[in-house]
Amino acid sequence: MTQKTNVNMVVIGLLAAMFIGALDVTIVATATPHIVADLYGESLFSWVFAVYTLTTCVAVPIFGKLADLFGRKTVFAAGIGLFVLGSILCGAAQSMAELIWFRALQGIGAGALAPVCFTIIGDLFSGKQRGKMMGVFSSVWSVAGLLGPLIGGYFVDQVSWRWIFYINVPIGAAALLLVTVFLHQPIERRAKKIDYLGALTFTVCFSALLYALLSGGSDHPWDSPLIVALFAVSAVFLLLFLWIEKRAEEPMMPLSIFRIRVLNVTNVSGFLTFGITTGLTIYAPIWIQSVLGHSATSSGLIVMPMSLAWPLAANMVGRLMYRMGVKASIVLGSGLVVAGSIWLAVLQMNSPYVYWIGILVVIGLGMGFVATPSTVVVQSAVGWEKRGVANASSMLLRSMGQTIGIAAFGTIYNQHVTTLGSKAELAAGMHSVFLLMCAIAIANLLAVQLLPKHRELMAQQQSA
């Protein structure tokens, strides 16, 4: 087979892996009532989602480093193997406790999918081709977001909720086969030093932090002894992690990458912008249903304009970013996010439904123009030996932005909503959330001004 055919087969395999990882985020929610009815444990069900998020976030940087140490193919195979095994076990779960444990295993595997897939794309393509491919891969998340509820609904109604997990098995097997057979990369045979202490302290630090953020304000008050203790443990282990990384021969997260300006700026931007979009997916349907009085179906479909605009812009900017300028593309996208956030912040209780469509289209277009060039410049900021870590750090900060954003927005919202069913209080709570989103969008626009000029970014890309 020709090299081009090999690359095409690998890309198809990577797209399949990304698709099942993204699909799993949305498809499970569709089956919630049926899973609860079969397995009981309704009070535990929120942890089916929370534990998946927690283990995925913790696993991302660990797998990113392992991909740099042991090669992309080996780590990809391990990650998708764990994901598929977790999916089989989830489908076979006989209790809610079992399902939660198996979702944790599935989340560990999912932690390898996105960073390793993006790293392989960064290895296979360069320059304009890399930008185009990142646009294509960004579309996978939106397609999965649209198809997840439909596929989940079909399995629940026609077969069994267990098939929302079993569907990952044939797709995952095909992805594994394509990547392992057709991906050919040189293997450097040398002794590998694994930073076990760094991985351990990182895991404890972020597990404690994420658990506190996911359960604080809902399961436990923010000032409760448990939440305060979790934040304290997280801070202590963060300091230990940094101390270990400075001295490790082969650190899990080389601190030198945080001296690279473009990486720092794009990580901050990802942290801020992904917090906004996650907040929108939560609060937009609440506004549509509770304030405007539309049906549950209308409220569920309201996020679709952003899901369509985002990949459209991602593909567009993947082809235009080198003509427009990489920095100009990101600044333009950040400006669109600000414009959409300002429009969001000035909404009135009687603002029509169509305003929401406009807001989400504008923010979706902005995110497409931000996310794709940001991913490309992260990969261009380092060489092959650190590309996995760089990708993983970017994805970790995006995930942290989502988690911290949910916690912050929820805290603000709950301070206003004291009477169940009060439309005025609901609107006031969400308006405060929208004002914070607007402030975050402006902070992001200011942050991306610190990116190097297009010529400097291109020089980095040529050397990477």
pLDDT digits (tens, 9 = 90+) for 298-337: 666 777 888 888 888 888 887 788 788 888 899 999 999 9
pLDDT digits (tens, 9 = 90+) for 371-412: 888 888 887 777 767 788 888 888 888 888 888 888 888 888
Q: What is the reported pLDDT for 82?
A: 94
Asked if residue 446 is part of any domain, the answer here is: yes
Q: What is the reported pLDDT for 327?
A: 87
- Looking at the fold, whether 110 and 134 belong to one and the same domain comes out as yes
Asked if residue 150 is part of any domain, the answer here is: yes
Closest to 303 measured CA to CA, from 384, 376, 364: 364
Asked if residue 187 is part of any domain, the answer here is: no
Q: What is the reported pLDDT for 416?
A: 78
- Looking at the fold, whether 15 and 161 belong to one and the same domain comes out as yes
- Looking at the fold, whether 210 and 116 belong to one and the same domain comes out as no
- Looking at the fold, whether 458 and 412 belong to one and the same domain comes out as yes
Q: What is the reported pLDDT for 377?
A: 83
The pTM score is 0.82
Compute the chain's Rg from CA coordinates.
22
Distance CA 406, CA 421 (A): 21
Distance CA 164, CA 82 (A): 17
Among 125, 155, 182, residue at a domain's last position: 182
CATH number (domain holding residue 329): 1.20.1250.20
User: 216 lies in which domain range?
Assistant: 196-253
57 and 182 Cβ atoms separated by less than 8 Å: no
Closest to 91 measured CA to CA, from 113, 81, 106: 106
Task: Provide the domain count of the chain.
Answer: 3
Q: Is 2 left (phi over 0), alpha (psi -120 to 50) or beta?
A: beta
Distance CA 79, CA 37 (A): 31
Closest to 389 measured CA to CA, from 258, 214, 283: 258
Asked if residue 190 is part of any domain, the answer here is: no
Asked if residue 188 is part of any domain, the answer here is: no
Q: Which residues of the chain have pLDDT under 50?
A: 462-463
- Looking at the fold, whether 205 and 130 belong to one and the same domain comes out as no
